Amino acid sequence: MQAIITSWLTEQGMATAYIALSTAVIGCAVILLLCSISFYLTKHQVLVIIHKLITTSKNTWDDLLFDHQVFSRIALLVPFVLLLLLTPIFIDAESLLATVIIIFAKVAICFQIARSISSVLNVINSAYRQKASERYLPLNSTLQVIKLVVYLVASILAISLVLDRSPLYLLSGLGALTAVLILVFQDTIKGLVASIQISANKMVAPGDWIELPKYGADGDVLEIGLNTVKVKNFDNTITTVPTYALTSGSFKNWRGMLNSGGRRIKRSIVIDVRSIHFYNQEQIKALQSVQLISDYLAGKQQEISQESADKAIGNLTGRTTINSRQLTNIGTFRAYITAYLRQHTKVHQEMTCMVRQLPSTEVGLPLELYFFSNDKNWVNYEAIQADIFDHLYAAAPMFDLRIFQHPSGYDWQSQHASADA
């Protein structure tokens, strides 16, 4: 083809000094035109036909090939292959221009093949995420290691092509740089080891809710990569955490709560100690109208009467002494809370449910509620928790109990008004 172009230029009367340069320019123009046509046909004709075939098929995995641009990257190989094949035909193979173009084409082919392999690995990763029942296999980290190796091989081949040396020559040189490579890739090595440990111990998987206060992460795991773990926080921000941080430090995984069927509620009501007292018969009679504790009151009264009779505790007037068992308003309130939780439709009845006293403090006597809601949704969970404590705060005065709080401006204002009156 070079001879044909040279002969044609000679026939046109071009000076001999410009024939070689003109032949090279025309050859480059023809090569560029043919490569452009091949790219256009491949991308806008062949790929369109392939896309139609894929969209009409019933399979879903082949859609991933288009989503991750596998065919597009393979299509880009066509013009580079043509560039490699056509250059010796249209340009003198011994010339510097042809050498540069051929080396460029070979390097481009190496990296384009690496990009195509990377796309195929992305397809494998996406298919695994869609189909896998358990996501503890560190596939994403493994694929990232494979990508790193593929691009490293492509880089070595590209350098060997530019330097016109055997790849084995460069690999022998890398052996002497082992310490430097370990230093450069230390995070990658630690991330790979950490991802294997995470998988083997089933510590965390994509979709788990985790907390890492040290890194400000509190949300769902999006991706476990080779070097980083992406966590989508509940304020929709993304926090990236080093993968090895999950094995070198501590974190909280809420997967157990999500799988258990219940979400724990643990909160205290602080009672003013000065409002705690014994009940008299009139107060007990008034509380018998409360259906949730009517059986409790009847049973306790019978139990106390029997015990008092057995021990002959009391005096001639029938008034109970302090030595006998008596109902207290805080004990009755505790029984009421327990009964209220036991009949609540949003409380998980097959999990721990109790009301207990904590040691008294300078602010009063805490009554701690420890139970589980049967709705794990965050919004519903907070609503259930609020509804229960709204009711209990409102019910406490019925038992002659005061909820402790520090004096406010309204309290001082009321006190001064009483003093003035």
- Is residue 185 domain-shared with residue 320, that is, in the same domain? no
- Same-domain check for residues 270 and 302: no
Of 128-132, 261-265, 367-371, minimum mean pLDDT range: 128-132
- Read off the CATH number of the domain in which 392 is found: 3.30.70.100
Asked whether residue 355 is domain-assigned, the answer is yes
SS3 243: coil
Whole-number Cα distances in Å, 158 to 104, 105, 118, 155 = 9, 10, 17, 5
Question: What letter does residue 347 receive in the DSSP assignment?
Answer: B
> Kind of pairing, strands 263-271 and 365-373?
antiparallel
Residue 354 predicted with pLDDT over 80? yes
Domain extent for 107: 1-131
174 domain-assigned: yes
Residue 211's φ and ψ, nearest 5 degrees, are: -125, 125
Close Cβ partners of 296 (under 8 Å, ≥ 6 residues apart): 332, 335, 339
Asked, for residue 417, whether it belongs to a domain, the answer is no
Within-domain flag for 418 = no
Q: Does one domain contain both 74 and 99?
A: yes
| pLDDT computed for residue 318 by the predictor | 47
- Please report the pLDDT score of residue 315 as a whole number: 46
139 located within any domain: yes
Helix (H, G, I), strand (E, B) or coil at 345: coil
- The pLDDT value recorded for residue 168 is 75
Whether 366 and 402 share a structural domain: yes
Claim to verify: residue 269 and residue 398 sit in the same structural domain:
yes
What CATH number has the domain bearing residue 159? 2.30.30.60
| List of residues 6+ apart from 147 with CB closer than 8 A | 117, 118, 121
Domain boundary among 108, 131, 154: 131
- Same domain flag for 159 and 240: yes
Q: Which is more confident, 164 or 385?
A: 385
The per-residue pLDDT for 56 is: 76
- Among 203, 229, 260, the domain boundary falls at 260
364 by Cβ neighbours in 10 Å (0-12 / 13-18 / 19+) ranks as buried
Q: pLDDT by residue (tens digit) across 57-105? A: 777 666 777 777 888 888 888 888 888 888 877 777 677 887 888 888 8
Tell me, yes or no, whether 140 and 256 share the same domain: yes
Same domain, residue pair 139 and 196: yes
Tell me which range, 88-102, 143-157, 210-224, 379-393, is most confidently predicted by mean pLDDT: 379-393
The pair of three-digit structure tokens given for residue 52, joined into one six-digit string? 């139609």
> Is the predicted pLDDT of residue 316 greater than 50, yes or no?
no
> Where a domain ends, among 131, 151, 183?
131
Q: Is the same domain home to 206 and 217?
A: yes
In a domain, 392, yes or no: yes
The structure's pTM equals 0.57
Mean pLDDT of the region 19-29: 67
> Is 78 part of any domain?
yes
Q: Are residues 39 and 100 in the same domain?
A: yes
Q: What is the pLDDT of residue 395?
A: 94
Shared domain check, 376 and 334: yes
Judged by average pLDDT, the poorest of 235-244, 302-311, 343-352 is 302-311
pLDDT in tens, 214-273: 888 999 988 888 788 899 998 889 999 988 888 888 888 888 877 788 899 999 999 999
> Of 140-149, 306-315, 323-332, 399-408, which gets the smallest average pLDDT?
306-315
CA distances from 143 to 112, 139, 181, 225, 305 (A): 18, 6, 20, 9, 76
Averaged pLDDT of the chain: 81
Do residues 171 and 187 make contact, with C-beta atoms less than 8 angstroms apart? no
Number of domains in the chain: 4
Q: Assess whether 356 and 399 both reside in one domain.
A: yes
- Supply the pLDDT for residue 371: 94
Handedness of CA 287, 293, 297, 298 (dihedral sign): positive
Residue 385: inside a domain: yes
Give the integer Cα–Cα distance in Å for 191 and 242: 8
